[in-house]
């Protein structure tokens, strides 16, 4: 009969214990993932109600409410180029119940536009997934004398600093600054808390132009209140097929898009992040989300957490280059 040494017994006990711990950890992870969500989730949006980000948040929120069996509340915290909302989520409990539905404004552009941020776009968050990509449209009041990009730029060159452009997001501002840089014109920038608010002033004649997301611009274009002069990416918008790209209209090299993504506070459990990611990815395929993408002239775009982190890093570098080339000094 073979006798088992005390050392062998201890080794087997340690192996068994390790296996038990691993099993319990896996069970705990599965339990955490299965249990989430068990209370309402808040989607914090850095822009005002009616903005593109708000519309997408509400569209995917409806699907998450259905699939997750818990209500989603949209909390609009507009202002300071998204910093108010980003800071609020960064300081929230890392439990998956406070989610930042945002854009490249807070997570790629702001660190180049402001000397000091109230949040760290990398260290304070866990990337969940991308949600969509799209372009913007250059618009003027329908009563304005400018019929195309060429006429607008000619007027700007004739009276430097007299014309003005509004922006309610970093995407909109940088798009306008890029136009100034590449076209060699001087147009006054007027900041707003959100693009819909800027649109209101454009309709009222307080500003002369803006480059806005299509979800806020297209309805006014279709209503005959705004005139579309150009599209911001290198491909024309399916919603506005007769509108040339800004590059086609004569501003060579012009290309400026935007993206949506979801983030949670740093320290959120991986299992919760993955469960939330699954809900959001499925939500981008919902009827409500598809309706938003069609209306906004954007498209669904989803990622893993790691893919979004890598994409964000590349975008941050690109936006930094664009902002410096446009001569924008951090505020």
pLDDT for residue 86 is more than 50 = yes
pLDDT for residue 21 is more than 70 = no
Last residue within a domain, chosen from 216, 231, 246: 231
Q: Decide which of 111 and 9 is more confident.
A: 111
Residue pLDDT, tens place only, 110-134: 999 999 999 999 999 999 999 999 8
Q: Which tokens go with 272?
A: 């919760």
Whether residues 270 and 125 fall in one domain:
yes
Question: Where does residue 12 rank: exposed (0-12), middle (13-18), buried (19+ CB within 10 A)?
Answer: exposed
| Number of domains present in the structure of the chain | 2
Q: Which domain holds residue 71?
A: 34-134+258-325
Last residue within a domain, chosen from 185, 212, 231: 231
Mean pLDDT highest for which of 15-19, 20-24, 183-187?
A: 183-187
Three-state secondary structure call for residue 50:
coil
Whether residues 157 and 226 fall in one domain:
yes
Inside any domain, residue 24: no
Inside any domain, residue 40: yes
Residue pLDDT, tens place only, 234-279: 889 988 999 999 999 999 999 888 899 999 999 999 999 999 999 9
Contact 210, 167 (CB under 8 A): yes
Residue 90: predicted pLDDT: 98
Whether residues 123 and 58 fall in one domain:
yes
**Tell me, what CATH number does 313's domain have?**
3.40.190.150
Inside any domain, residue 55: yes
Whether residues 142 and 101 fall in one domain:
no
Whether residues 120 and 176 fall in one domain:
no
Whether residues 95 and 153 fall in one domain:
no
Residue pLDDT, tens place only, 34-84: 699 999 999 999 999 988 899 999 999 999 999 999 999 999 999 888 999
Inside any domain, residue 52: yes
Whether residues 183 and 317 fall in one domain:
no
With residue 215 as reference, give the H or E element that holds it: helix 214-222
CA distance 214 to 51: 10
pLDDT for residue 20 is more than 50 = no
Whether residues 196 and 217 fall in one domain:
yes
Q: Which tokens go with 233?
A: 């990416």
Whether residues 82 and 107 fall in one domain:
yes
pLDDT for residue 160 is more than 80 = yes
Inside any domain, residue 303: yes
pLDDT for residue 25 is more than 70 = no
Report the predicted TM-score, pTM, of the whole model to 2 decimal places.
Answer: 0.73
**Tell me, what CATH number does 169's domain have?**
3.40.190.10
Whether residues 197 and 62 fall in one domain:
no
CA distance 203 to 275: 43
The residue assigned the tokens 């009041």 is 141
Residue pLDDT, tens place only, 190-245: 999 889 999 999 999 999 999 998 888 999 999 999 999 999 988 899 889 999 99
Inside any domain, residue 10: no
Say what the alpha-carbon torsion angle 191, 196, 197, 199 is, to the nearest 10 degrees. Answer: 80
Inside any domain, residue 245: no
Contact 283, 72 (CB under 8 A): no
Inside any domain, residue 242: no
CA distance 40 to 141: 42
Whether residues 92 and 225 fall in one domain:
no
Whether residues 271 and 125 fall in one domain:
yes
DSSP codes joined into one string, 149-179: HHHHHHHHHHSTTTSEEEESSHHHHHHHHHH
Mean pLDDT of the chain: 89
């Amino acid at each position: 009969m073979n006798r088992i040494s005390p050392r062998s017994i201890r080794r087997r006990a340690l192996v068994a214990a390790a296996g038990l711990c691993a099993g319990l950890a896996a069970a705990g992870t599965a339990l955490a993932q299965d249990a989430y969500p068990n209370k309402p989730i808040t989607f914090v949006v850095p822009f005002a109600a009616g903005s593109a980000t708000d519309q997408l948040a509400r569209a995917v929120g409806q699907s998450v409410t259905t699939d997750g069996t818990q209500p989603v509340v949209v909390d609009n915290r507009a202002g300071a180029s998204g910093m108010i909302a980003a800071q609020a989520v960064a300081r929230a409990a890392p439990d998956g119940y406070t989610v930042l539905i945002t854009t490249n404004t807070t997570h790629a552009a702001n660190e180049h536009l402001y000397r000091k941020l109230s949040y760290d776009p990398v260290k304070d968050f866990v990337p969940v997934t991308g949600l969509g990509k799209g372009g913007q449209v250059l618009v003027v009041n329908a009563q304005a004398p400018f019929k195309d990009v060429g006429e607008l730029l000619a007027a700007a060159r004739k009276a430097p600093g007299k014309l003005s452009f509004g922006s309610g997001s970093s995407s909109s501002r940088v798009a306008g600054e890029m136009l100034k840089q590449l076209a060699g014109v001087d147009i006054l920038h007027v900041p707003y808390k959100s693009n819909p608010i800027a649109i209101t002033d454009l309709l009222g004649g307080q500003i002369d132009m803006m480059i806005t997301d299509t979800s806020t611009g297209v309805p006014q274009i279709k209503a005959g209140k705004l005139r579309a002069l150009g599209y911001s990416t290198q491909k024309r918008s399916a919603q506005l097929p007769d509108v040339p790209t800004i590059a086609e209209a004569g501003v060579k090299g012009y290309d400026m898009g935007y993206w949506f993504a979801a983030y949670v506070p740093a320290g959120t459990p991986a299992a919760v992040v993955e469960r939330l990611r699954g809900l959001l990815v499925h939500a981008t395929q919902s009827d409500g989300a598809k309706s938003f993408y069609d209306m906004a002239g954007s498209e669904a775009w989803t990622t893993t957490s790691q893919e979004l982190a890598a994409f964000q890093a590349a975008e941050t570098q690109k936006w930094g280059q664009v902002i410096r080339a446009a001569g924008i000094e951090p505020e």
